[in-house]
Structure 1
Amino acid sequence: MDFTFKEDQTMLVDSVRKFLMNEVSPELIRELWTRPSGRSRELWNLLAAQGLTGLSVPEAHGGMGLNDIDWVLIAQECGYHALPEPLLESAWTGAGLIAALPESDFRNQWLAKIADGSARIALAHPHSPLVADADQASLMLLSRGGKLYAVPPQLARLTAQPSVDPSRRLFTVNWERDERSCISSDADVLCAEAFNRGALASAAQLLGLTQRMLDLSIDYTAQRKQFGKPVGSYQAVKHHLADVAIKLEFARPVVYRAAHAMAHGAPFRAAHVSHAKIAAAEAAQLAARHGIQVHGAMGYTWELDLQIFMKMAWALDAAWGDRSFHLARTRAFVLESGAALGPGCTFEE
């Protein structure tokens, strides 16, 4: 099977890359860390103007109707540039959950609002109970007792929780259940799919973060000199960076496979997503650790941009299911009797 990205997919991600390169800088991220909201309405409006908030929304509601394969490259770019805005949580995970609801006025109205950027969606899941950007959301999607509820943030009590990444704003949510806000009695299925999509989004971002930390480390070791030679010319430093590059290249196809499984509703997509999250997180953790080492004592300092991407990688490692959860889910799939393993089972289409 030819599993290369199509020309329109690569053209789309090229335009997103240029946009993020111009609009999302380390200086902007540092400045947003000092704001009480941690967010930029101007940047969100620019994302909406680019059509990025409507990528998952069906064309009938003002979106582009793209799928998980289209998103995965864009999510990598969001990771590479450490985009602080909750684009993936709202426009990919949240929009996907609402689009899966039966036809209704609620569904149609909120999809249109997501597409034009006037609404942000926040989600919670039992394996990801802290709600990201709940204070900035137009609507929270919360499950309880097998039902899915649409809860405005002003009707809940939000308690901010600390994060290693200042760009990741997390909250615990306490709310009183009101059956009038119930939008589905099939929350388990809907939330399971949203959880897998959130974990896939995290994995794709971790690929981008790994690449950015590797690029920063390569640039630093090419400029930093010791005994009259760039430190990057020393064999030990080369080995550190090569280890990261290898780990990254092995993680990429795993994440792409998971995106394909999600887009086509493959029966074992949950296991593929967990495998992707593990592989991408391991690559990012190695990039952070070796990045600190090759930067020397400077690797820990606030002044270097490296710390921005390290902190986001550490935070995403635990987002949408921690490593122990995804290891357990992958292990259960691999050890199951008659598991579909091996090259012949990679793509069944």
Structure 2
Amino acid sequence: MRFLLTDEQREFTRALDGMLAASGTPTVVRAWAAGDTAPGRALWSRLAAAGVFALAVPERHGGVGPLPVELAVAFTELGRHAVPGPLVETVAAAAFLDRLDDEAAAAAWLPAIASGQSAVSFALLSPDAPYALDAATADGVFAVNGDTVRLAESAGAVQPSTDPARRLARPLGGAVLARGPAVTAAARYATHIARLTTAAQSLGVGRTLLAHTVDYVGQRTQFGAAIGSFQAVKHRLADTLIALEFAQPLVHSAALALAADDPSADREIAAAKVAAGEAAYGAARTALHLHGALGYTDELDLSLWIRKARPLRDAWGTPAVCRGRVLAGLAPTSELEPERASASASAQTES
């Protein structure tokens, strides 16, 4: 497949890149990790003004979507700049509410999501996966358990994660919003959106890791020569680039399939999630290796990207779960067990 962005999509990418580059996202990430969400919420409002969250909200509720391709483009940039917060979970919640067939709930939440007034979280809960991202600070947490969805009222203590800015907490209590087959169907679509945008985020994280590592190996010297001139280093960087280059068209193809409601969308999204997640994780390992001891320091801004790669690889579908979706022919599409296994593995990894 040959995929080229339109002029409008390329301009959207450039605008997001410019805005985020001027936003000092490393400072925002560190504040978010420390529990200070004010800088992050200010950036959230700017993202909303740029139309990012409106891409997941239908026009009748103040959005312009759902537009999976544009979401993939946007989330690649969010990953490149390490933007913190429940970004994936908010657009997944928007997709869930759009498909839930509950007009009252949609009218109450979707306009606020599109405008950036509400940052929400969304989670598929199970006994082994009881956490939701940013449940302690989100304006609302949509917690799906079986065929029931609740709007959580409170959250427990923050659960430590590999990525300090990835603040997991247990959603507690809350009134039942809906139950039945409609919840299951809406959760399945929301999972597709979550996997796609997580894959795009991973792709962006990998791109930044590679770019900074290439710059660094051109400056660091050993034996009087830049280490970037060593054949082994060149091979390592080339392998990282190839993995990212192979992942990008898979992400775009998955977005196109989802936009067209193609029956293959589930399989393509799972394949994109595996490829992008593994590519970003490989880029993190390469960056850590080639930066030497410097790569282990919290003071290095690049550590903010290095520590994101592993949680993103496992969130919303571990590599094993996503490969299973591809290889098994997606037979159990009427059930959510694979998604619950994904959430469980993700929670265990991040803990």
Q: TM-score range by the shorter chain?
A: 0.7 to 0.9
**What residue is the counterpart of 1:163 in the other structure?**
161
Change (3 A) 1:99 1:184: farther
1:270 to 259, 266, 270: 266
Please report how far the alpha carbon of residue 94 of structure 1 lies from its aligned counterpart in structure 2 after TM superposition: 1.5
> Which of the two has higher C-alpha Rg?
1
The within-5 A match list for 1:102-251 is: 102=101, 104-126=103-125, 129-149=130-150, 151=151, 153=152, 155-175=153-173, 178-179=175-176, 181-182=177-178, 185-251=181-247
Q: Partner of 1:265: helix, strand, or coil?
A: coil
The answer to whether 1:314 aligns with 2:310 is yes
2:256 to 260, 278, 285: 260
Q: Partner of 1:65: helix, strand, or coil?
A: coil
Give the partner amino acid of 1:3.
F
Please report how far the alpha carbon of residue 2 of structure 1 lies from its aligned counterpart in structure 2 after TM superposition: 5.5
CA distance, structure 1, for counterparts of residue 71 and residue 41 of structure 2: 23
CA distance, structure 1, for counterparts of residue 48 and residue 224 of structure 2: 49
Change (3 A) 1:183 1:147: closer
Q: Partner of 1:123: helix, strand, or coil?
A: strand
**What residue is the counterpart of 1:344 in the other structure?**
none
Change (3 A) 1:43 1:335: closer
Change (3 A) 1:145 1:290: closer
CA contact 1:101–1:184 (8 Å) conserved in 2: no
CA contact 2:28–2:39 (8 Å) conserved in 1: no
**What residue is the counterpart of 1:17 in the other structure?**
17
Q: Partner of 1:168: helix, strand, or coil?
A: coil
CA distance, structure 1, for counterparts of residue 102 and residue 141 of structure 2: 19
CA distance, structure 2, for counterparts of residue 233 and residue 320 of structure 1: 38
Change (3 A) 1:7 1:302: same
Please report how far the alpha carbon of residue 145 of structure 1 lies from its aligned counterpart in structure 2 after TM superposition: 4.2
CA distance, structure 1, for counterparts of residue 72 and residue 256 of structure 2: 10
CA contact 1:207–1:248 (8 Å) conserved in 2: yes
Q: Structure 1 runs of 4+ off > 6 angstroms?
A: none
Q: Partner of 1:40: helix, strand, or coil?
A: helix
Please report how far the alpha carbon of residue 4 of structure 1 lies from its aligned counterpart in structure 2 after TM superposition: 1.9
**What residue is the counterpart of 1:302 in the other structure?**
298
Please report how far the alpha carbon of residue 88 of structure 1 lies from its aligned counterpart in structure 2 after TM superposition: 3.1
Change (3 A) 1:145 1:87: closer
Deviates more, 1:269-278 or 1:123-132: 123-132
Structure 2 unmatched runs, 5+ = 333-351
Please report how far the alpha carbon of residue 131 of structure 1 lies from its aligned counterpart in structure 2 after TM superposition: 0.6
Give the partner amino acid of 2:88.
L
Aligned residues, how many? 330
Please report how far the alpha carbon of residue 147 of structure 1 lies from its aligned counterpart in structure 2 after TM superposition: 2.8
Identity between Structure 1 and Structure 2 (%): 35
CA contact 2:28–2:40 (8 Å) conserved in 1: no
